Structure 1
């Protein structure tokens, strides 16, 4: 791999302060986080930069130090998806890695467990709860890799999906430890709204066809009904059940919605499902479909008590 530009004046020594200064510069230049460790190595070493067998070992030292300073660089690769899995109201952030070649991804390993046994224990040794985490994982895979399949432009649909996944990441980052679940409702509502709008735009709707700032643009019941009518899918019935339980987006800004932590966790899993379903309609990814029939984990456990 050849860097696009080598520093004209390479640095012979570097410290953590060197990396901090470079990171500030890269942030101002708009360099994506995942690109920064490599960029720093090329800039610090200049013509001494070399990777691979027999390469400069300082390259890996710089890149490792950058990752230690800023762990987010490993969570920001294109195609990486951040979502959640839950058992009752215990939530774990799940990060889908970039996969090269033929690799098998297991829910327990991607969820950060050291072994399948540890995951099974977290699932309270309950097959239904374990099935719920497996389907949450499948939804996140369909969302993440499905978006990778349909990327290739800067259309309004992709921008809407990008904002939806950003809000899903916010919910996944906050829910495991947050005390006030009301603060997570806004990003949860936005995941559903933005992903449904993205699918409608992808299907040909005008980006401005959802009304101005007001109730119409945030009406998830109307939006989901329109989605089912214009791009029908097997998931539509469950989507309708989820949006029927969603709090009013505008109203939830100004007063508590009166939901328990368990309610909010279920809604978060629900909007992750909605986002995945909107992408399934246009991509070739559908990890959830074969899981929904046959032996465990089928059938998909209900999100809500009847």
Structure 2
């Protein structure tokens, strides 16, 4: 399009302003752009993916063959039964440990000034964090695929059909996505990526081990068993065992253990709502 300059009589081109998008449309578009940016970065630095795959595979092999036969499951010390009992816990641990990567990645972006460059763009503020968590979810999904193959190789099996198994994996990925928002908040709250990595892991160890992931809670002290039964991590592990048809399903009377699928959904959605709100608020104040 052109326009005539009345003062000089010359014809000058005019620029059409881009049509503004709605709030939700812009947020979704910007989040996907940021997610693509992070996925391209993972592709260019394959070490991120490779080392992310090695750790969970190592956990599977160590727990399956070192502890197999030493922990009784449903009254049996059969190593094969323990491996089937173990895998729901390993799957859930793997998706939650992605939190540390989210913390370190966001902290690194903050220290390198990348966030300042994002601020100069006409983009939704919350999209930076949403895009990062979506990219982390994609990486976690890839890790889960590899882990399932390794689990099948060491003797793990599903007994309730593919649809329920997919539902179990979906619940675990949802929990992992929820925990990446905790990681996002941690990454925004510390000064260095090193501190973010430590802060992202230090609370995960008691969360995952004070649970039903690696040993039945019936052998714990009563007060600790109550904590384990109401642990969001335990609810997802219990839901996985129920849906996979694996042994070691807890017989506790606690509501999350009696209704693990609903409990897992409830905890995951609650964590997303609370920590996404806190993380986006922290991001806006940190970059204001």
TM-score calculated relative to the size of structure 2: 0.31
Higher helix share: 2
Q: Which has the higher contact order (CA 8 A, sep 6+)?
A: 2
